[in-house]
Each structure stands twice: as structure tokens, then as C-alpha cells.
Structure 1
Amino acid sequence: MSIKIALAGNPNSGKTTMFNALTGANQFVGNWPGVTVEKKEGKLKGHKDVGIMDLPGIYSLSPYTLEEVVARNYLINDNPDVILNIVDGSNIERNLYLTTQLIELGIPVVVAVNMMDVVEKSGDTIDFGKLGKELGCEVVPVSALKGNGVKEAAEKAVKTAKRNSGVKILHSFDNRLEEWLSEIEKRIGINVPDEQKRFYAIKLFEGDNKIRNLMNIVPDVSDIVSKAEKELDDDAESIITDARYKYISSIIGGCYKKNKKKKLTASDKIDRVVTNRWLALPIFAVVMLIVYYVSVTTVGAWATDWANDGVFGEGWNLFGIWVPGIPVLLENLLNAIGTADWINSLILEGIVAGVGAVLGFVPQMLVLFIFLAFLEGCGYMARIAFIMDRIFRKFGLSGKSFIPMLIGSGCGVPGIMASRTIENDRDRKMTIMTTTFIPCGAKLPIIALIAGALFGGAWWVAPSAYFVGIAAIVVSGIILKKTKMFSGDPAPFVMELPQYHLPTVTNVLRSMWERGWSFIKKAGTIILLSTIVLWFLQGFGFEDGSFGMVEDLNNSVLAKIGGVIAPIFAPLGWGDWKAAVAAVTGLIAKENVVGTFGVLYGFGEVAEDGAEIWGSLAASYTAIAAYSFLVFNLLCAPCFAAIGAIKREMNSAKWTWFAIGYQTVFAYTAALAIYQIGNLFTGGEFGVWTVTALLIISAFIYLLFRPGKESNTLKVNRKVMRV
């Protein structure tokens, strides 16, 4: 008989770390049926018959967000055998709010008090035996980050599930509230199991209409609720919330002893600097500058050079032994077999040149992903969302909008999906439209290619690409918020600032590998197929009156197609058919931009001196034109997968096309202004397109500074909770 364990807890309580520790590699990720909230399932290590479901991080079982609805519906409808509730021990009082709701469900509960290393370091003490007795369930101390108590918590959960012992509800509210809830329980009658009557009674008291529809329970409790609200002079939901916290406070007093001599924590001291009103942004800029400098210009560049020149080039010297690169090995193998010329061309000039050009940048991406995983794991990225809230709120967005953008730095798809946590529909739509302005992992090869081939590996190119994305979001926020369809106050922003801590090497490497493997899989599927198609289109055409393989690329089918669309991009400085085709193929997958150049410029081939043929690319474009090309590809419509995510989240074809159109027009006008003005300052001629660029800049300035038709004074409280 299999056992189902539901892992539940607040965001930032260490739930994901706990899940990884319990399941190891025995897990898979998918979406909940009918919705796009990510779910993780896995098998408990050492127990083939024990499954673990990692529920979304939630603060309560009240259905305010999609995550809370999904978590509650799973617990009620799927009937897990036991709930393993992860509680942050450093802020136990707030975390126990969810615990009281989980206990009311009547499902066996085991509470794992996490972050005990932080609790012990602060000098606080918790009486777990007494706390368990008060709650009526098992309570286990855990430090998921260090692996302490993880196995014990899992074993307790398994044993509790096998006993199939429901939780006896020991907690109670004041006498008047108990009488009202008991009356509602009587009216519910036999419609729900006895062990769940308390949960349903409370939800009906709070006026939760969704819970009524869940099992067709529609008792008339309005008279009880009206009486309670009149007697206590408060709304029903606030009455329950206040009663919960009073109960939690009553049991915490005897179980949790705080260190009265506690000094300012290290996290507080660090935050005095990194979240300082004046220093926060410069520090953030320096941090990202270092991240991209190391990832793209130094360590990452050295690793990528080795991959491009060695693995996908002529070869490399390994402890005095010369190891041929993949192109050389394949060419020798094909010559030995005696394959046809077109097969040699397909493999060497198509697949190896295209896919190899993309995979050659994997080392840079892995270095970047290590940095991002470390910044997320140590708690700094949570501070960035808080810092950016200060800026975004002035432009009509809240820090909630920056969270999807942080996630989108790995991949735009989960970044877009993360926008669902924004309750305000207008803010959510605007966030979806601007999230992909942040360079994702797939755009890093484009940045690295332009920086290496056109700017000689200049240190400033990669960081500037990141800040161009930030600037595009800020400008878009100002402009769009002044329109009728996006006007209004931004959504309130409540977030947690976890204690700073060093993430484990395992968690950092796991995060790096998950992001990197996703990129590699795409190279082996979408990009592989794209390069084969590109190889055919650029290798075949009409030459000397007949269709077949061509010697001159300008006679190929691809050149003819590119020649039709190339004039559109001529004002941007890169109006040749090769660049135009590369930009269009980037809609399939952004990595295709590099793969296309790899096929068209022969990155897979090796010159006589062993160097990559990047010179031909550098000779085709000026530095200004190359930067214009970079900006356009960073800001224009994202890949097909991200467009699909936009369609799912917008749930409207009209809004999806509007988002794609806005992104593309914004990218085109920005790239046009950069090239035309930059070209003017570097000795170019003054012409019609220069005038157009000046008009575009003037229009941007007007839209930025004009008063909004429905401007509101933004007086939204920003609340930060320390965990």
C-alpha cells in the first residue's frame, strides 16, 4: 500500500530544501491539472512506496491566490495520508497560523520545525514535547540546510500515516466563538466527515463561498455571522484571524523562550548596508556587474573559449596528449566511411556548426547560473525585490512584479508563470508584457557572441545588456501606467526577508544543473531541428537554372527569404539577409540566433591557425550596428515557448498579440534610436532615419513626462516581514 505525504509550509520556510533532501533525484516537475501552478512530486529515499507532494508555498488555506486554492483543493480532494508541515523556527508564531488550519482538516500532521541552526545560534529555545502536546501532533526539530533531523521527520510522517491516526483538535477559541462554530457544525450535519467539520465551519463563518461549492454545502449561517460581527464589532474573517493568533500566543508562551539578551543579528547588520536607501541600488549594480563580468568576460569566457576552440574546434591538449575536437573526429569518421558530400555537409556545416555554436556557450551559462543560485540561496535576491519595489512603485508597479523578472533570468517561461501571484489584473498583464525584457539564459549566448566577436570581449557589454532590460521595464511601466487600460495603484507588496545564510554546495549545483540541463535539452531538440532546416535552406537553391546544392550562399532559398525581410531592419544597421534571418529564427528559440550565425558564418569550421572564424562576422557589422542587433534581440518578442506561456497566462488571444506587438515595436524603436544616433556621433550621415530616431526619442520623452489621465496618488504601504 503506497503512502502519500503532502509537504506544506510558508514560502521561505525551507520547504524546497526539505523536499530535495527527502527525494534526492527521485522527483519530477509538472503542472497541476487544469492550471499552470508548478508541482513537484517525488519518492522518499529508501521507500519506493512513499510518495511526496511538494505543495506551493502558502501562508494560509484561504483561497486568495491560485497557489492557496491548489494547495487546499489537493488536501481536501486527494486525501493525503499525512501532512508534513515545515515551520520556520526563527519565526514560529507566524508560521503556526497555517499549522492550525492544517490541523483542522483532520488529516494526520507532523510538524517539522526547520532552521534550528538559526534558532540555536540566536540563543532561543523551544520545548518540542510541550509544543507537540499543545498542538496534538508530533513535532520534530530540523535543519534542512544541514540535513539534521530530515530523516527523523520523514520516518515520523511515515509511521503517523501507517497508524492512520487523525489529529485530535486540542486548540479552541474563546467561549462565544466556540458556541457560534458549534452551531454551524450542527447545520453542516452529515455533509462532511466529523474530523473536517471544524475546518468547514470556520470557512463558512469567514464567508468563504468557494468552500460551499466544493461539496455543495450551502447552509444558511448569515444569522450567526451577523450576530458575531455585531457583538464583536468586527468582520468575520478578522474575528477568526484574531482568535487564531490569540490561541498561538497562548501556547507559544510556555513552549518558546526568546533570548532577551539577543543582539542585532548578522542579517540585520548586513541589511543596514545592502538595503540602505542610498547604497542599495549602487550595490546591486556592482553585484550584477561582477556576476556578468565573471560569467561572460573572464572565467566564463575562458571556459567557453576552451569549449569552442577545443571541444567544438580543432582540439585541445590534455596532459600532453592532443585530443581532437568533435568536428575533426566526425570529419575523419565520415571520410573513413565514405559518406556522400551532402551528408558531410549536413553533419559538419549544419548540425555541428549550428548546435556546436550554441553548446559552446554552455560553460558561460553554467557560471552565470552558479552565481544566480548562490544569490538566491543566500537570501540576497529577496532583498533585491524589496529594493526594486522602491523604484517600481514610483512607476506604477510593485516589487511583486520584479519577482517574476528574477525568475525569468533563468528562463522566461517560469518568469511569466510567476506573474500569477499578482492579484491586480492590470499589474499582472503589464508584468507579463515586460518580464521577458530581462535577459534569460537563452539570450546569454547572443550577448557573449556580440561581446566576443564585435567588441573584443569588452567587460561592459554583458552588464549593459542586463541594465538595458531593467531600463526597458521602467520606461514601459511609466508609459503604460499613464494609459487608461493600465492606470491605477500598484498591488500591495508583502514579502519575507529570510536570514542570510550560506547555501549548500549541493543546492547550488542542483539549481545550476536544472537550468543548464534545460538549455542543453533544448539544444538537442528544437535547435537541432532548426539547424537542419537552416542547413537545407542555406545549402540549396536555384543556381545555373536548376535546383540543387549551391556554392554561392546568396543563391540559396534562405538568402531569397532573408532578402525579402532584410530591408525592414536596414534602418537598424543590419539590413543584410543573414542577420535578418538570425533575428527571425530567434522567435523559435533565442539560442537559434547564435546557431544561425554558426551555420551561415561557419563557426563550426576551423581556420588554418586553429582560431574560430569570428572575423567574418566582425567584418560584416559596425560596433553600433552590432549593439543595435543585440538590443533588438534582447527586447523583441520572446521564443515560441514563452509566447505560449503568455497565451496561457493572459487567457486571451487579443492580449497575447498586443503583448507581442508591444515588445516588438518597443525593441525596433529602441534599436533604431541606438543605431541612428550612435551612427551620427561616430561620423555617419544625417538623413531621414536620423530625423525619425530624433522624433522617436522626443515621443519617448513626452510619454514619460506627460501627466497621466487617471493618475492616482500612490499611498500603498510596503510591509516586510523578517524570517
Structure 2
Amino acid sequence: MGITIALAGNPNSGKTTLFNVLTGSNQYVGNWPGVTVEKKEGKLKGEKEVTITDLPGIYSLSPYTLEEVVARNYLLNEKPDAILNIVDGTNLERNLYLTTQLIELGIPVVVAVNMMDVVEKSGDKINTGVLSKKLGCPVVEISAMKQKGIEEITKKAIEAAKGKTSVRVHEFSAVVESALTEIEGMIEDKGGRNDKDQRFVAVKLFERDDKIKEQIAMRIDVESIISKCEEVLDDDGESIITNERYNYISSIIEGSLVKASKVKLTTSDKIDKIVTNRWLALPIFAVVMWIVYYVSVTTVGTWATDWANDGVFGDGWSLFGLEIPGIPVILGGFLESVHAAGWLQSLILDGIVAGVGAVLGFVPQMLVLFIFLAFLESCGYMARIAFIMDRIFRKFGLSGKSFIPILIGTGCGVPGIMASRTIENDRDRKMTIMTTTFIPCGAKLPIIALIAGALFGGASWVAPSAYFVGIAAIIISGIMLKKTKMFAGDPAPFVMELPSYRMPRISDVLRSMWERGWSFIKKAGSIILLSTIFIWFTSNFGFVNGKFGMVEDLENGLLASIGKGISWLFVPLGWGEWKAAVAAITGLVAKENVVGTFGILYGYAEVAEEGNEIWSTLAASFTALSAYSFLVFNLLCAPCFAAMGAIKREMNNTKWFWFAIGYQTILAYGVALAVYQIGNIFTGGAFTIWTIVGFLVVALILYFLFRPYKESKTLNINVSSVKAHKFAK
């Protein structure tokens, strides 16, 4: 029979790194039953019978957030054979809070004190023997990053799972016991069950353990018990339990941890003096993101994309003097040799290869971008960005918690939207859901790359500007919406840790890049494939002289008829030609469809990012100004269908869903109109009625930004350092 070991620990404790080391490539990702929080499981390398389940990174089992609910329910309901608790050795006190809760569950626990290389470098010493004796469970020193102690911790975890490790229930001080004795008496008076450890039950009542409540609620008035205890102690019971946990942890650490005599600034502290500086933080962030997009879209990414577009999905490429034909050439020759029907050749070459190929051609750029993002996340810099943005967001009515979903949204808007569940304040959560998709996700990168390369000659400012357009839209929306009754109120407090800077493992960065990139490729092989077939059919078939059939001129196709019927809507935005209108609409299915649609409608041979052909072909539809207007609209308008579905699920209200989609679309239209019409004046264009509308849009936005209102009192809670004495919910 197989063994299941649950991996539990605080965020940034090195849990994910250890999980990757233990499982290697033998892992699979899904969602927890009933929720959309990511679930990772894997087989222990060399042990096919041992399954490692990676629980969400949490600070405690008291269920305040969805991640904590998921972790607690798994441990209580699924009952794994053992728990491998990852503890950050550089912040022992805070990490042991979760450890005390895990030990109480009665499941064998093995503690892995991680980052021991950093602990030793700082001069601190941890006596794991004493720590093990006081906790009553095995404690092993490891360094997941350098793969030290992995063999020993694996052995200990398997022994614990096989029942070779004793289980000891956590004990509390007399201060709490006096209150718990009172509760125990009340439980017995009410005729409740005489549990083996009433103190455990009482503690779980205070720590919001719904499972315990459900078990005894039919026989006991739970709320009256809690109220009575609070009366006896003249304080909040939950706070008392928290305080006593830390008192207990302090007694454990007293003989287990010896701090270095001299407190020196760590390397992370020295870097943070510059990176999180009040005046330098934002310029540094802007420079970092400019470099990321410059390398990803304009230089290295472009070279790789040119190779993919011109070579793999074009005429071919040379390798060591050997000419290798591209996919269109190979397929074209094959279809000719088997005398395939004309419509079939057109479907495969002008539809599937042109549409899907145009999208996949930008995969190299996306992979380069994903490498950068994975590196910034793993090294600890992105946590600093949340800290920096909290300062800004808090001035505009949002907290730094809103930046976490936005950060996740740079990969894909769907998990970004779902990450808003961690925001307790309902108003802030709704606003975050509405604004998260403003940030350019991976699916929008091909649009950015196409516009930057084909219509701006590879200008380095275009791609980074797209990122900051999204940030600006989020901030502006936060200011405007917070001044309405629907969203008024204090921003939620934001408490998080700043992990130490560390050099990421190359394998972890590449794994993260591949997971994101593979998700994009799978979408290209499913949603994009079906979309391109639909686009090819509707563009190549239509009514001519009263008869329906394949048309020679795309202007006579069904898609052209639809496009011409809606293109007038986009005339004020500068791109009222039907092909551009259709591309924007198909982007609602999946944003990659914008590029795929251009690939079909303009002919894939022309959709090479740097090619002269696409410039001449698109020149009739776009100027540099109208192209940027097109880019802005597609960045800010309603997201893809998948993200819309996530918005509807998270809003759980049809009216709020349509309000969110309507707000995004109206804002996108207004901003794109203002960009084109006002920009047109400065580039020598004519002054028209739409120019006045553009100025009115700007005036309306400025009015909502600066109109007076009763400011809410913002909380002065920002970010706790890694040296924080306590972490309280």
C-alpha cells in the first residue's frame, strides 16, 4: 500500500524548491477538489510507492484564507501518513507557529530546518537535537537549494509515515489551561462527549476550526462557550491562544537557537536599502521592467521569433550549411503530391498553419519573458515590488494585496483573478477582479510584439509602455472607483514577509518557464486551432451572386460582412477597417487570436515581425498612431472568454460580472479614442468632432481623479520584515 507525505510550510520557506528536489519530473498539477487553488503531487524519486503532496504555502491552520482552508481540510479529512514541515531557519520563531499546530493533529511530523547554509553564514547556531527533544518529533538540518540533508530528511519522513515515529500532542501553559478547564466543565455540563483531549477541542474552537464545531455543535452551544471563556479571561480567546503559542515557542527556542553576538546588516538588508528606497524604488522597478521587455521583445526574443516565423513557419532555415524547409513548404509539397483538394490545401496552409503558426511563432519571445519573470519571483525581487506598490496603491484606496493577483496575472489572467480570493475585504476583492486583467498577460505578448516590430520598427519603448499602461489603468481605476459608494472604505491591511534574496536554481527557473509556456502551447493546439478554422471558413466562404460557396476575394466572405457591420464602431479609434475590427472581436475568445486572425486575413507569409511585407500590407489599415490605439484597446478591453468565466465565478453575481466587463470595455474604448484623437492633433491631423470627444474623455477621467471626497483613514500596516518577532493574523 502506498505512502502519502504532505509537504507543509510558510510561504518563502523553500517548500517548492524541496518539492522539486524530492519529485524531480515525477509531478503533476491540478486543482484541489471543489476549488481552483493549485494542487501539486509527485512521486518521490526512487520510491514509486511514496507520494508527496505539496500543500499551499500558509502561516497557520486557522482558516482565514482559501489556502489555509484547503491545507487544513486536507490534513483533517485525507489524513496523510506523515507531514514534512519545512521551516525557514533564518526566521525560526514565526515558522514554528505552524509547526505547533501541525503537531497537535496527531499525524507524525518531521521538521526540516531549511536554509541552514544561510544560518551558518550569519553566525547563528541551531541545536536541532534540543529542538527535536522539545518538539517531540524528528528535526533535520537541510538546504533545499544546495540539496544538502535531502537523503536524511527523506529517510526520516518515510520512517514517520510507517509509524516508527512517536506522536506527541502539544502542551500549553497554565494560563490557557485555566480557561480551557472552564470550557471542559461546560462541555461536560452540557452533556457533550468527553473527548480524550478537551483542551485540543477548545483551542480549535478559538482557532476557527469548523470541523470541530460541526462535531459538537449539535450538543453544545459553541458561541456561548467562547463568550464565557472571553468573560473569564477578560480578553479575546483567540488572541490569548496565539500569545500562548508564541510563549511556548519562545521557551523552545531559548535553548535551541544561539544568535550571533553582533547584529550585522545582511546582504538582503543592504540591497533593500537601495531597491526599496522611497525615491529610488519606482525608477529601479521601471528600469528592471524596461530591460525585461527590451530583451524579451526587442532583442533576444525578436531574434528567436524571427527564426521561428521565417524559418520553422516560413520558407525554412540553414543549419550547418544544410537547408531545412519550413512547415508550410513541407506540408504544401505533401498536399500537392497527394493531389489534395484546393479547399483542403487552403484550410491547412491558409487557415491552420497561418493562424496557429502566427501565434506559435511568438512562443520564443514568451519563453524569454517567462524566464525573466520566474527569475525575479524566485530571487525575491517581486516580493519587494508588492511592498513598493503597496505604498502607491494604499494612497489610491487599494492595498498591496491587490498587487499579488496582478503579479500572477502577468502569466495568465485566470489564476490572477482567482488569487483575489485571499483579499478579505469584499470591496477591494471586487475591484481587484475588475482591474487584474489590465496587466499584459502572456496571451497579449504576441500582440505587443507584432505591433512593436511591424509598425514601430522594433522600438524599445513600445513593449515596456504596454506594461505601464496596464499599471496606470489599475491605479486610475482604483482612484475613480474608490470615490464611489460601491467601493468606498478603508483599504485592507497588508502584512507579508520579505524573503532573503537568493540565487534561484536554474532547474526551478526553467521548470516555471516551461509550465507557463506549455500552457500557452496547449491553448494554441485547442482553442486557437478551433478559432482559426472558424476564421478561415467564415473568411473564405460567402454569398456571391446569390450562391454560397468559396470566394476568391476575402472581401466577399462572411467574416468581411460581419466585420464591415461593426467596423464603424472603431472609426474614432483610428482603425475602422474591417480586418482590424474582426481581429479585436476574435481576441475575446483568446487574445492570441488577434495575431492568428491577421495571419489568416493578411496571409501568413506577410506576418513576419520585422518583414517589409507586413508593413506594406498593414499600412492601409494602420498608422503608427492608430496601431498604438489598437494596442491600448486590446490591452484594456474585456479579457478572453476563460478570464471572463473566472470573473463571473469570483464575482458570483451576474450584475457585478456585467458591470466589470462593461467598465473594462468602456475604459478601453475611451482611452484608445483619446490616444488616437489627441495624438492626431500633435501629428498634424485634422480637428474634428471626435477630437472634442477625446478631450472630454480626458477631462472626465481627470474630474473623477481629482474631485474632492472624504478620504478614508488608511492603515499604516505595510510589510513585516523577515526578522519580525511575531506574525499575527
TM-score class, shorter-chain normalisation, is over 0.9
Counterpart Cα distance in 2 of 1:336 and 1:193: 83
Alignment of structure 1 residues 517-536 onto 2, 5 Å: 517-536=518-537
Distance in 2, Cα, partners of 1:186 & 1:86: 37
Contact 2:8 2:54 in 1 (8 A): yes
The question of 1:626 aligning with 2:619 is answered no
Aligned to 1:35: 35
For the residues of structure 2 that align with 1:527 and 1:214, how far apart are their CA atoms?
Answer: 49
| Cα contact 1:494–1:721 (8 A) shared by 2 | no
Counterpart position of 1:602: 603
Describe the shift of the 1:604–1:531 C-alpha distance in structure 2 as closer, same or farther (beyond 3 A).
Answer: farther
Counterpart Cα distance in 2 of 1:716 and 1:610: 53
CA distance in 2, matches of 1:619, 1:221: 72
Tell me the amino acid that sits aligned with residue 536 of structure 1.
Answer: F
Matched, 1:79 2:91: no
Give the CA deviation at 1:35. 2.1
Residues 199 and 217 of structure 1: CA distance in aligned 2, closer, same or farther (over 3 Å): farther
Describe the shift of the 1:195–1:279 C-alpha distance in structure 2 as closer, same or farther (beyond 3 A).
farther
Which stretch shifts more, 37-46 or 679-688?
37-46
Within a 5 Å distance, the mapping from 1:92-171 to structure 2 comes to 92-163=92-163, 165=165, 167-169=167-169, 171=170
1:505 corresponds to:
506
| Within-5 A mapping of 1:230-241 | 230=231, 232-241=233-242
Matched, 1:325 2:326: yes
- The match for 2:180 is 181
**Could you say what secondary structure the match of 2:390 adopts?**
helix
CA 1:610–1:393: 2 relative to 1, 3 Å: closer
Residue 543 of structure 2 aligns to a residue in which SS? Answer: strand
Distance change (3 Å), C-alpha of 1:81 and 1:547:
same
User: Hey, what's the Cα distance between the residues in 2 that align with 1:556 and 1:112?
Assistant: 65
Give unmatched runs, 5+ long, in structure 2: 724-729
Which stretch shows the higher mean deviation, 236-245 or 457-466? 236-245
**What's the CA shift for 1:120?**
1.3
Partner residue of 1:10? Answer: 10
CA RMSD of aligned residues (A): 2.1
Question: Any conservation in 2 of the 1:123–1:262 contact (CA below 8 Å)?
Answer: no
What CA distance in whole angstroms lies between the structure 1 residues aligned with 2:224 and 2:339? 89
Partners of 2:401 and 2:423 within 8 A in 1? yes
Per the TM alignment, residue 263 of structure 1 is displaced from its structure 2 partner at its CA by 1.6
> One-letter code of the match for 1:174?
S
2:274 aligns with: 273
* Cα deviation code 1:267-323 (max 9, x no counterpart): 000000000000000000000000000000011011111111111111111011111
Which residue does the alignment assign to 2:540?
539
Give me the whole-angstrom Cα distance separating, in 2, the residues matched to 1:37 and 1:192.
35
| Bigger mean CA offset, 138-147 vs 465-474 | 138-147
- Which one is further off, 91-100 or 112-121? 112-121
Aligned to 2:664: 663
C-alpha contact (below 8 Å) 2:159/2:165 kept by paired residues: no
TM-score by length of structure 1 reads 0.96
CA separation of 1:194 and 1:124: change in aligned 2, threshold 3 A: farther
Does the 8 Å contact 1:401/1:431 carry over to 2? yes
Q: Does 1:559 align with 2:560?
A: yes
Q: Which residue of 1 aligns with 2:726?
A: none
Checking the alignment, whether the CA contact within 8 Å between 1:87 and 1:113 is kept in structure 2 is yes
* Equivalent residue letter for 1:588: V
Cα distance in structure 1, aligned partners of 2:207 and 2:369: 47
Range with greater deviation from structure 2 (465-474 or 58-67): 58-67
Partner of 2:688: 687
1:199 lines up with 2:200 in the alignment: yes
Partner of 2:90: 90
- List runs of 5+ in structure 1 lacking aligned partners: none
Counterpart secondary structure, 2:40: strand
Tell me the alpha carbon deviations over residues 407-466 of structure 1, each in whole angstroms, 9 at most, x when there is no partner. Answer: 100111111111111110000000000000000000000000001111111110000000
The residue matched to 2:385 in structure 1 has which SS? Answer: helix
Once the two structures are overlaid, the 10-residue window that deviates more, 682-691 or 363-372, is: 682-691
Greater CA drift, 185-194 or 236-245:
185-194
Q: Give me the whole-angstrom Cα distance separating, in 1, the residues matched to 2:396 and 2:150.
A: 44
Alignment of 1:639-650 (within 5 A): 639-650=640-651
Give the structure 2 partner of residue 172 of structure 1. Answer: 171
**Structure 1 residue identity aligned to 2:179:** W
Do the aligned partners of residues 430 and 543 (structure 1) sit closer, same or farther apart at CA in structure 2, a change above 3 Å counting? same
**2:704 paired residue number:** 703
> Aligned-pair distance for 1:150?
2.5
Q: CA deviation at 1:208?
A: 5.5
2:111 aligned counterpart, secondary structure: strand
Counterpart amino acid of residue 22 in structure 1:
L
Letter in 1 for 2:116: M
> TM-score under structure 2 normalisation?
0.95
Percent identical: 73
Q: Which residue of 2 aligns with 1:358?
A: 359
Contact 1:101 1:199 in 2 (8 A): no
Given the superposition, is the C-alpha separation of residues 283 and 533 from structure 1 closer, same or farther in structure 2, using an over 3 Å criterion? same
Equivalent residues of 2:192, 2:219 under 8 A apart: no
1:208-237 alpha-carbon deviations (Å, 9 max, x no partner): 666312564653577875675456542211
In 2, Cα distance between equivalents of 1:634 and 1:223: 53
Once the two structures are overlaid, the 10-residue window that deviates more, 71-80 or 540-549, is 540-549
After superposing the two structures, state which structure 1 stretch, 242-251 or 205-214, moved more. 205-214
Instruction: Name the SS of the counterpart of 1:317 in structure 2.
Output: strand
Contact 2:186 2:225 in 1 (8 A): no
Please say if residues 454 and 614 of structure 2, whose CA atoms lie closer than 8 Å, have aligned partners that are also in contact.
no
Whether the 8 Å CA contact 1:349–1:605 is kept in 2: the answer is no
How many residue pairs end up in the alignment? 720
